[in-house]
Amino acid sequence: MDFHVHILGSNSAIADHGRHPTSQVVSISNHYMLVDCGEGTQERLKEFKVKWFRIDHIFISHLHGDHYYGLIGLLTTYNLLKRTQPLTIYSPLLLKDIIALQLKASQTQLNYELKFIDTKDDGQHLLLENEQLEVHSFPLYHKIPTTGFLFKQKEGERRLLVEKVEGLPIERTDYALLKKGIDITDKEGNRINAEAVTVAGSSPKTYAFCSDTTYNKSLVSHITDADLLYHEATFLENDRERAEETKHSTALQAAQIAKQSNVKKLLIGHFSSRYPDLSDLLKEAQSVFTNTALAEEGEVFEV
């Protein structure tokens, strides 16, 4: 089943070296979700031709500006372009007041329903669930309340074994039941065991997003065995002191978390503007965790 992460920005704090602040689109089947929304995100969405009108859920990790200053612009652009379908934002509660005040200042009444769900950094919480996916928040360790997000695909439907169902006296509508693992009775009254005529669907994948955080082993329990982990790597080990002071991680620390969590692949991002060239960050992470990539703008990663 289709599960992708589209990087819109992965610089820290200030846009620089052609890099922009944090934002990603996570898509699972037909569900598009925006994760963080730094200034200029609406421009990146258009630049990278993301189907941005399909986004119905926006997750904001914390209220440092480089993770949400682009939100109000996106919300009002949706409005100008006559969006009507509802939109839900998951974030620390104060964001609701900020957006409300800005809409009041411009005397704007949105054409669509905007709902806010408060995130809490006191443990893991289920934020969203539907037939295809679950999204959970979990605590990160930063200067202000911050959460990561875990995107979990649900188990895919079983696949029919064509050679076993061909010629059976059943209706096409029975196929859907069998794919769900439900036994049926055919037109001649014989019981058909779903497991005998299907095989398990694709195994469900997991993506963990850790925006801004100091190195903390408590993360591991939330992200163990993830197929893909995004972990911030703002600094090199050379600048470890600065990382600790600002509650950020080094590339080495991100890789250590990836290794301890037994994830399959690591993406690093939230790069400090002090590094025009990112190759040393990549090398540092790969020295501990080989399957690491840079979360560079415009890149799309399959989970």
Which string of x and - marks every residue 67-106 that binds a copy of itself (by CB under 8 A)?
--xx-xx--xx--xx----------x-xx-xx--xx-xxx
Structure-block tokens of residue 147: 């959460």
| Shortest reach from residue 61's CB to a copy of itself, in Å | 13
CB of 232 to a copy of itself, least distance (A): 17
Asked if residue 301 binds a copy of itself (CB under 8 A), the reply is no
Closest distance to a copy of itself from the beta carbon of 68 (Å): 9
For the chain, where are the alpha helices, taking DSSP H only? 41-47, 71-80, 94-105, 162-165, 172-179, 194-197, 220-223, 240-245, 251-260, 279-286
From the list 123, 124, 130, 144, which residue makes contact with a copy of itself (rule: CB under 8 A)? 144
Single-letter amino acid, residue 96: K
Among candidate residues 36, 66, 212, 227, the one labeled active-site is 66
Length of the chain: 303
Residue 168's CB is within 10 A of a number of other CB atoms, namely 16
Nearer to a copy of itself, 39 or 174 (CB): 39
Residue 9 engages a copy of itself in binding (rule: CB under 8 A): no
Minimum distance from CB of 106 to a copy of itself (Å)?
5
Instruction: Give the separation between CA 183 and CA 192, rounded to whole angstroms.
Output: 6
DSSP bridge partners of 150:
136, 208
Q: Is 15 near a copy of itself (CB under 8 A)?
A: yes
200 is an interface residue for a copy of itself by CB under 8 A = no
183 to each of 126, 158, 172, 200, how far by Cα in Å?
31, 13, 14, 15
Query: 21 phi and psi, to 5 degrees?
Result: -65, 175
Which region, judged by CB under 8 A, interacts with a copy of itself, from 7-15, 195-203, 215-223, 291-299? 7-15
63 lies in the binding site for a copy of itself (CB under 8 A): yes
Residue selected from 2, 53, 65, 302 as contacting a copy of itself according to rule CB under 8 A: 65
Query: Cβ neighbours of residue 196 under 8 Å, at least 6 residues apart?
Result: 164
- Cα 192 to the center of its chain, rounded Å: 39
Q: Is 14 in the site for a copy of itself (CB under 8 A)?
A: yes
Q: Which residue, 101 or 196, has its beta carbon nearer to a copy of itself?
A: 101
Tell me the two tokens of residue 166: 């061909």
- 159 versus 274: smaller Cβ distance to a copy of itself: 274
Interface stretch with a copy of itself, choices 3-11, 37-45, 117-125, 128-136 (CB under 8 A): 37-45
The DSSP symbol for 29 reads T
118 is catalytic: no
State the helix-helix crossing angle for 251-260 and 279-286, rounded to 10 degrees: 30
Closer residue to a copy of itself, CB minimum distance, 101 or 200: 101
Angle subtended by helix axes 71-80 and 94-105, to nearest 10: 50
What does the binding site for a copy of itself look like in residue numbers (CB under 8 A)? 13-15, 39-40, 42-43, 63-65, 69-70, 72-73, 76-77, 80-81, 92, 94-95, 97-98, 101-102, 104-107, 143-144
> Where in the sequence numbering do the catalytic residues fall?
66
